[in-house]
Amino acid sequence: MTHPFDAAIALHPEADNRYGGHTSAAYANMVGPFGGITAASLLHAICRHPARLGDPLAFTVNFAGPVADGPFQLHAVPVRTNRSTQHWRVELIQDDTVATTATAVFGVRRETWSSNELTRPAVPPAAEVAVTPPPGRVAWMAQYELRYITGGLPDFRHLPAPDDSIRRDTTTAVWVRDEPQRPLDFLSLASICDVFIPRIYLRRARPVPAGTVSITTYFHADAAVLAAQGSEPVLGVARAQNFRNGFFDQSAEVWGAGEVLLASTHQIVYYKE
Amino acid sequence: MTHPFDAAIALHPEADNRYGGHTSAAYANMVGPFGGITAASLLHAICRHPARLGDPLAFTVNFAGPVADGPFQLHAVPVRTNRSTQHWRVELIQDDTVATTATAVFGVRRETWSSNELTRPAVPPAAEVAVTPPPGRVAWMAQYELRYITGGLPDFRHLPAPDDSIRRDTTTAVWVRDEPQRPLDFLSLASICDVFIPRIYLRRARPVPAGTVSITTYFHADAAVLAAQGSEPVLGVARAQNFRNGFFDQSAEVWGAGEVLLASTHQIVYYKE
């Protein structure tokens, strides 16, 4: 049986550098698809391209306009191939209009001196943290098992009035895995990097219209690290840095088994407040 | 008299969406141009494009291959224009080969509730920090006045043997401005975001072959904030997050007058160690 994630990112080749896909009801957001699944679909087009060299290192996705429910085309172009790195340009197109743009750097890693600089925050193991029931109104959140240690969805039934004198911390720490379980790969990791609720919900303690404009993910994991992860939960830790005149940024880390950093990910988000 | 920065990023229109430029000896790196000046040149092509809407919000530059000293072409395409945001694709081309790819999101900001989440670290004012004389062998470093509070260039004359048992902090805090002085704008800010020496120099306390693969900058400043900054020094604070099998990442902030966050910037860097 095909996992819903694999069904959602499924592509069929249409021509050189061109693939067809279709949005998935299982990964729908309030309007259009969840950004993470769109990012994973774009990365998928590179991963299955016959010219692909190595694994993802850096991946930037710009959400240029809404993606409508229905079919879409992906245009994935290997712009430059070096001995051990490869640069890609990808676009998601609907009705001859570009809805999403992306660039990616792929590479073949060699073993070198390695070390972490950040260390993983100390948190209770996933098994000791309660699973948050998905809010009914957002389909994609039911595709993830989310265990919030801190910074979960505010209780929107009890909204305090905005109070600028309160500076709430926007940090989220959450254990995440695909629901149902699925062994982690670069595609599901790319999607998980967008799993964090908008930081402004936490800062303002209420829902605020918001949407990711651009997300950049750096992959620290290689295929061996991902294989060791299997379908165990990963720990995501996210925080905002600055909110200014309609846009805020978020930086986050995704940690795997053995407290290994799998990915660091950054995004800038539109908000209306 | 033209400032060397403006001379370095000067472009002339060649055709629709196409501009010609030339590398600058003043901003040369050990091989090819300083990455920051290349990034600024790509952003410049958008800023002077007749279709340009608003100011930069997000900007990703992928260094796909070496840029040779000499002329280059920039191909800047407005991929999608919305009511208040605009998405760009830019490429730097030499001899019909793509050397650099980029995407940018521009936008028209409106005034909203705003607040910082990060706070600027407490450091001595620029006037109390000594200027580091530029190392003679790298031209571009002489184009910046750099006052390191912590994490300056290691003294390469006295290289300790690599010692994996020592975990040196990779944080740099540095006051920066253009030399000679020049009022800050989006272009010089984009360049300053790449001014940090490779984090692995600090971690390993010695020079290690390294080069930026991809850099993403989020602009928090708008034109009014930049105008207030003038040519006063900005504070850059950078740190590594993870070094693994040939690539490490760096996150940094650039702070302006009044402890305002001007930009947050992230990059992934190749290293050979």
In angstroms, the CA B69 to CA B30 distance is: 11
Q: Which band of pLDDT confidence, cut at 50, 70 and 90, is reported for residue A246?
A: very high
Write out pLDDT tens, residues B45-92: 999 999 999 999 999 999 999 999 999 999 999 999 999 999 999 999
B83 touches chain A (CB under 8 A): no
Tokens of A156: 């929107």
Per the CB < 8 A criterion, the answer to whether B59 and B219 are in contact is yes
Chain A hits for B217, Cβ within 8 Å? none
Range of the structural domain that residue B254 is part of? 4-109+125-271
Per the CB < 8 A criterion, the answer to whether A201 and A259 are in contact is no
In angstroms, the CA A28 to CA A51 distance is: 31
Does residue A104 sit within a domain?
yes
Q: Which band of pLDDT confidence, cut at 50, 70 and 90, is reported for residue A72?
A: very high
- Cβ burial of A163 (10 Å; 0-12, 13-18, 19+) is exposed
Length of chain A: 273
Does residue A120 sit within a domain?
no
Chain A hits for B117, Cβ within 8 Å? 170, 199, 203, 239-243, 248
In angstroms, the CA A202 to CA A153 distance is: 7
Q: Which band of pLDDT confidence, cut at 50, 70 and 90, is reported for residue A271?
A: very high
pLDDT at B263: 98
pLDDT at A168: 82
Q: Which band of pLDDT confidence, cut at 50, 70 and 90, is reported for residue A54?
A: very high
**Of A23-27, A61-65, A67-71, B28-32, minimum mean pLDDT range:** B28-32
> Residue B180, preceding bond cis, omega within 30 degrees?
yes
Per the CB < 8 A criterion, the answer to whether B39 and B214 are in contact is no
Mean pLDDT of the region A179-195: 98
Determine whether the interchain pair A272/B65 forms a contact, defined as Cβ–Cβ distance below 8 Å. Answer: no
Q: Which band of pLDDT confidence, cut at 50, 70 and 90, is reported for residue A1?
A: confident
Q: In this model, does residue B207 exceed pLDDT 90?
A: no
Residues 146-165 of B with CB under 8 A from A: 162, 164
Write the CATH number for A150: 2.40.160.210
Which is nearest to B242 in space by CA: A193, A55, A255? A255
In angstroms, the CA A52 to CA A46 distance is: 6
Which is nearest to A203 in space by CA: B53, B145, B115? B115
Q: Which band of pLDDT confidence, cut at 50, 70 and 90, is reported for residue B1?
A: confident
Write out pLDDT tens, residues A7-32: 999 999 999 999 999 999 999 999 89
Residues 206-235 of A with CB under 8 A from B: 213-214, 216, 218, 220, 222
Does residue A117 sit within a domain?
no
Per the CB < 8 A criterion, the answer to whether A112 and B272 are in contact is yes
* Averaged pLDDT of chain A: 95
Does residue B120 sit within a domain?
no
Q: Rounded to the nearest 5 degrees, what angle is found at the Cα of B239, between the Cα atoms of A268 and A194?
A: 30
Which is nearest to B252 in space by CA: B267, B231, B234, B242? B267
Which is nearest to B55 in space by CA: A272, A67, A246? A246
Does residue A98 sit within a domain?
yes
CA atoms within 13 A on the CB side of A206: 12
Minimum-distance CB partner of A60 among B103, B112, B114 = B103
Q: In this model, does residue B156 exceed pLDDT 90?
A: no
Write out pLDDT tens, residues A195-206: 999 999 999 888
The alpha-carbon gap from B2 to the nearest alpha carbon of chain A, in Å, equals 33
Residues 4-43 of B with CB under 8 A from A: none
Q: In this model, does residue A86 exceed pLDDT 80?
A: yes
A120 touches chain B (CB under 8 A): no
Write out pLDDT tens, residues A89-123: 999 999 999 999 999 999 999 999 999 999 999 99
pLDDT at A189: 98
In angstroms, the CA A9 to CA A2 distance is: 11
Write out pLDDT tens, residues B182-196: 999 999 999 999 999
Please give the DSSP secondary-structure letter assigned to residue A120: P
Write out pLDDT tens, residues B215-273: 999 999 999 999 999 999 999 999 999 999 999 999 999 999 999 999 999 999 999 98
Terminal CA-to-CA distance of chain A, rounded, Å?
A: 44
Write out pLDDT tens, residues B94-153: 999 999 999 999 999 999 999 999 999 999 999 999 999 988 889 999 999 999 999 998
pLDDT at A5: 98
Domain count for chain A, please give it. 1
Per the CB < 8 A criterion, the answer to whether A22 and A169 are in contact is no
pLDDT at A165: 73
pLDDT at A242: 96
* Averaged pLDDT of chain B: 95
Q: In this model, does residue A162 exceed pLDDT 80?
A: no
Q: Which band of pLDDT confidence, cut at 50, 70 and 90, is reported for residue B157?
A: confident
pLDDT at A89: 98
Which is nearest to A144 in space by CA: A134, A156, A130? A134
Q: Which band of pLDDT confidence, cut at 50, 70 and 90, is reported for residue B167?
A: confident
Chain A hits for B266, Cβ within 8 Å? 216, 218, 251, 264, 266
* 3-state SS record for B91-107: EEEECCEEEEEEEEEEE
Does residue A154 sit within a domain?
yes
Does residue B78 sit within a domain?
yes
Does residue A14 sit within a domain?
yes
Q: Say whether B202 sits in a helix, a strand or coil.
A: helix
